[in-house]
């Protein structure tokens, strides 16, 4: 008698978890992340963004990605980085858990209005993509001498 009820609850729970995963993939997670990480579940690559008075520093953690395959662009103060991470798996292997992201990805990062899209540098070393976006000269504070 209770066996069928237990199977129903498990099946219903599994369906809700599947629906949650599909909605996360479709829309991205909109509620706070459930772990100590600030990125939503499934976000790849992880991103750190910092700023100085002279520039904006963006770090993307892209281990296993060929730097030449990355597409980096800026349009209307949005930095977009996209690419693909290939799967490295064995044919006969049986996986119990797979947490490493594989496939196409794209991250969009809003930049401050004073970012200069004409002065951008990108370097990739040891799986870390470092993008430096200079600030516009006109937006920088300047010292005025009193005569």
Q: What is the pLDDT of residue 40?
A: 55
> In terms of pTM, does the model score above 0.85?
no
Q: What is the pLDDT of residue 78?
A: 94
> Using one digit for the tens of pLDDT, what is the confidence trace for 46-78?
899 999 989 999 999 998 899 999 999 999 999
Closest by CA to 109, choosing from 98, 100, 117, 99, is: 117
CA distances from 6 to 12, 14, 18, 94, 147 (A): 10, 12, 18, 28, 85
Q: Name the stretches of the chain with pLDDT < 50.
A: 1, 3-8, 30-38
CATH number for 44-147: choose from 2.60.40.790, 3.30.230.10, 3.30.413.10, 3.50.50.60. 2.60.40.790
User: Where are the chain's structural domains?
Assistant: 1-41, 44-147
Q: What is the pLDDT of residue 14?
A: 76
**Residue positions counted in the chain:** 147
Q: What is the pLDDT of residue 60?
A: 95
Q: What's the rounded Cα separation, in Å, for the pair 109 and 72? A: 11
């Amino acid at each position: 008698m209770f066996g069928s009820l237990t199977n129903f609850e498990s099946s219903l729970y599994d369906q809700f978890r599947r629906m949650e995963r599909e909605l996360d993939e479709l829309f991205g997670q909109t509620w706070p992340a459930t772990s100590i990480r600030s990125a939503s579940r499934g976000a790849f690559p992880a991103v750190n963004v910092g700023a100085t008075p002279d520039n904006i520093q963006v770090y993307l953690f892209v281990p296993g990605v060929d730097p030449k395959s990355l597409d980096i662009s800026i349009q209307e103060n949005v930095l977009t980085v996209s690419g693909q991470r290939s799967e490295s798996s064995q044919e006969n292997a049986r996986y119990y858990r797979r947490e490493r992201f594989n496939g196409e990805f794209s991250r969009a990062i809003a930049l401050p209005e004073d970012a200069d899209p004409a002065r951008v540098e990108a370097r990739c070393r040891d799986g870390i993509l470092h993008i430096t976006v200079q600030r516009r000269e006109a937006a920088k504070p300047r010292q005025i001498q009193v005569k």
